[in-house]
Structure 1
Amino acid sequence: MDLGSVAGISLSLILLGTAMMLGVGIAPYLDVPSILITVGGSFTSLLIGYKMENMKKMFTYFMIAFKPQTFDVPALIKKLVDYSTQARRDGILSLEQQSNQEENAFLKRGLNMAIDGAEPDGIRDLLETDMDRTLERHKANASIFDTWGAYAGAYGMLGTLIGLVAMLLDMSDPASIGPAMAVALLTTFYGSFIGNIFGAPIANILTVRANDEAMVKLLIIEGIMSIQAGDNPRALEAKLLTFLPPNERISQFE
């Protein structure tokens, strides 16, 4: 569980809720017509703009923001260096058993290709294509939330216009002005709420997660290429440690 994302969204809701309670309370901010226009309308636009299989997995994508796949990069570097050491000592075919037991599907795929004697350019091209396509899919999934925030804001403005028209049509009845004005203002509130809490922030953190995964896959590609080329394990480690911040670069050879 990513405590930063959980704390961020929790604090946002708490701060907004507290501000409302200290004012006039929560109840005045709950308006069914405004919810129907902003929340309902923005979802219908998402249904138009995205494939149904993407929409069905929207909650899954949302949860990735709070419980992402984790990568132990230092441990992965050590594993690749160990593979390199064994391959230089016993030959790359000696890694077949480790490859069969490898849990990382991307690493297993690359190792198997190297063990089978595939051409280095072919291995790199295939793995980089896999990495690029995966990154594109993840960013497309993240864009759902960015688009939702934009649609919610647009429907908030649409609701404001609907409320203003309703108010202007019956200015002679003071009792009708309040509800119409509530729709006008609260739809904008709901649009901003969705866009700034569930829209852009979720899209951004999902993009960050996708870039982290792509970075790990790029590290694996560099490791496999060096193992197949028979590079010195020390040189391989020095190359892979550049994927880490300077304060986390600890060599196992020191």
Structure 2
Amino acid sequence: MAGIVLSLLAIVGGNLLEGGHTSSLVQLTALIIVFGGTLGATMVQTPLKVFIHGLKRIRWVFLPPAAECDVSLKKMVEWSRLVRKEGLLGLQQIADQEKDKFIKKGLILLVDGCEPEEIRKMLEVEIDSFAANEMSGAKVYEAMGGYSPTIGIIGAVMGLIHVMNNLSDPSALGPGIAVAFVATIYGVGLANLFFLPIANKLKTLTNHLVHHREMLIDGMVAIAEGENPRSLESKLEGYLT
């Protein structure tokens, strides 16, 4: 939110410092052309399920999912100590209470006594599927960022055509041309202030979640191999950097 407010204040404030009027930047027609055209073009290129998934991920920009590696590290050290006392079956109750589906699956595999490499392979498939799914959501906004400036130019050209059709009224040329170029501002502004930053943030969050899950895999595999809790902790501390 701070980034959005700062960017808008910079643009509107700069316009005011140059003696411009904020009202000249508010054009509903240009907004409809740019936003509607961008949305439509993105829908053409994107499967419906992926498009809807991408729209839902907008909440991650403001409420990112929790993935605290330090908290998970402490949990796995505790699990390792529990396993050394009670065996792998001691994790059954923890697995039943776990809400995170990825962690829950890993704990169930541990309780079932799966081989360490088998656990790694199965959970890595989960990570690959998760990463591909979330990256597809980020690409929705990346596509919007690509189309938006071009649609803005289309809106500007449409405005200029309208101006050329009214050359008989010289007094209307200046304001008409100004209005036409507002569409370009909207196109470039939406792309660089919203769509592309959102896409990049979703990619960053996805990479962070993947990093967290890779740490969980290494921890669970170490528990399956019966590794010492202190050794496990030292190994996983590298993920905290």
- Do these two structures clear the TM 0.5 threshold for a shared fold by scoring above it? yes
* Unmatched 5+ stretches in structure 1: 1-5, 246-254
* Structure 1 equivalent of residue 4 of structure 2: 9
Matched residues in 1 for 2:32 and 2:175: separation?
15
Question: For residue 186 of structure 2, what is the amino acid of its counterpart?
Answer: Y
Quick one: which of 83, 88, 103 aligns to 1:87?
Answer: 83
* Most deviating of 56-65 and 94-103: 56-65
* Most deviating of 46-55 and 184-193: 46-55
Alignment of 1:58-73 (within 5 A): 58-73=54-69
* Structure 2 equivalent of residue 239 of structure 1: 235
Question: For residue 39 of structure 1, what is the amino acid of its counterpart?
Answer: F
* Structure 1 equivalent of residue 159 of structure 2: 163
The answer (yes or no) to whether the contact 1:146–1:200 under 8 Å persists in 2 is yes
String of CA shifts for 1:193-245, please: whole Å, max 9, x gaps: 10111111111111111111111111110011000000111111111100012
C-alpha displacement of 1:58: 4.5
The answer (yes or no) to whether the contact 2:54–2:138 under 8 Å persists in 1 is no
C-alpha displacement of 1:180: 4.1
Within the alignment, does 1:107 sit opposite 2:103 as a pair? Answer: yes
The answer (yes or no) to whether the contact 1:159–1:183 under 8 Å persists in 2 is no
* Most deviating of 98-107 and 65-74: 98-107
* Unmatched 5+ stretches in structure 2: none
Q: Alignment partner of 1:87: what SS? A: helix
* Structure 1 equivalent of residue 45 of structure 2: 49
Within the alignment, does 1:144 sit opposite 2:122 as a pair? Answer: no
Question: For residue 27 of structure 2, what is the amino acid of its counterpart?
Answer: D
Matched residues in 2 for 1:183 and 1:44: separation?
23
Q: Alignment partner of 2:114: what SS? A: coil
The answer (yes or no) to whether the contact 2:138–2:199 under 8 Å persists in 1 is yes
Within the alignment, does 1:198 sit opposite 2:194 as a pair? Answer: yes
String of CA shifts for 1:9-31, please: whole Å, max 9, x gaps: 12112222323344322111122
Question: For residue 12 of structure 1, what is the amino acid of its counterpart?
Answer: S
String of CA shifts for 1:78-121, please: whole Å, max 9, x gaps: 11011112212332122212222223221111111121122323
Pair 36,179 (structure 1): closer, same or farther in 2 beyond 3 Å:
farther
* Most deviating of 61-70 and 19-28: 19-28
C-alpha displacement of 1:140: 0.9
Alignment of 1:98-137 (within 5 A): 98-137=94-133
The answer (yes or no) to whether the contact 1:153–1:192 under 8 Å persists in 2 is yes
Question: Could you tell me the TM-score, scaled by structure 2's length?
Answer: 0.91
Percent pairwise identity: 31
* Structure 1 equivalent of residue 36 of structure 2: 40
Within the alignment, does 1:29 sit opposite 2:1 as a pair? Answer: no
C-alpha displacement of 1:57: 4.5
* Most deviating of 174-183 and 10-19: 174-183
C-alpha displacement of 1:167: 3.7
